[in-house]
Amino acid sequence: MIKGLVASIVASVLFGAMYYLAPVLAPLDGEQVFGWRMLATLPFTTALLLWRGQWPRVRLLARRVQRQPSLALGLLASAALLGVQLWLFLWAPLYGRALPVSLGYFLLPLVMVLAGRVLYRERLSGLQWLATALAGAGVAHEVLRAGGMSWETWLVALGYTVYFVLRRRLSTDHLGGHWLDMLLLVPAALWFVLRAPSSLALVAGHTHLWAMVPVLGVMSAVALALYMAASRLLPLGLFGLLSYVEPVLLALVALLLGESIGPDQWPTYGPIFAAVAVLVLDGALRLRTPPKG
């Protein structure tokens, strides 16, 4: 449990750092950044895979596909669901759709809590229920304030939930399964990098990108590996609640980049910030409570 908590929080911090560094990747557009991110992430994910001794899991997945060819469709669906989310995360800020996507990340934990209760009969502690109620109040206000939810919001909230449930059903919720997702995304990444006009000239002509692309790869590989590890180590409901750390950090990054929270937005962010504080308290109490038995 503790390993899962640490993995989730560190992953959220790294995602926030990536968001903060995203403007430095100009003049690449959203699709090009996605392509370069995938190509730069895979080598470091491969290194993590070998370092953690997870290659046998990949071989096991290959044997499972040989015995059950229909599993290949599930693996392709898993990779596609992840790819859409990683693309949307980078595309939205560049095209004025950051608010709908951020609302999706605020709504995502509540959807995963519901999925955990319905699909896995997971139980939440009193403090976790309080955090759920506080976060739900903030999300409800944002829905009312924004006048509804867009396709981007639904894509994040429902798409990621389906992705994590599918990984558990396929028994690919480990680093080997994540590496395979990344490998299956390589053709799409190459398309975005090489399609006309090719971004190779842009990267070659801007020396700062020579360093930033590998840095993006390292951060992305570690963040995604920790995020996937947390999804396996934690109950789905608690994993969902901890997902609030990331959008809160993204909001803080936005403040650092010069944006501001308006008076009409505090009823949204205030309860969600409070929900995160309650989760921190719950985690601290769990650390102090000795395990039973």
Residue 280's alpha-carbon distances to 111, 172, 214, 247, 256, in angstroms, are: 20, 29, 33, 15, 23
Note the pLDDT of residue 180: 95
Residue 293, SS3? Answer: coil
d(CA 164, CA 289): 29
Note the pLDDT of residue 212: 85
Give the other-Cβ count within 10 Å of 265's Cβ: 16
Note the pLDDT of residue 290: 55
Give the other-Cβ count within 10 Å of 129's Cβ: 15
Note the pLDDT of residue 148: 67
Per-residue pLDDT of the chain (293 residues; tens, 9 = 90+): 778 888 888 888 888 787 777 777 878 887 888 898 899 889 988 998 998 898 999 999 999 999 999 999 999 999 999 999 988 887 777 676 777 787 788 778 778 877 888 888 878 788 888 988 888 898 888 888 877 678 888 899 899 999 999 999 999 988 899 899 999 999 999 999 988 778 888 888 888 888 888 888 888 888 888 887 887 788 876 777 777 777 777 667 767 766 667 788 788 878 877 887 887 787 677 666 655 54
d(CA 292, CA 205): 60
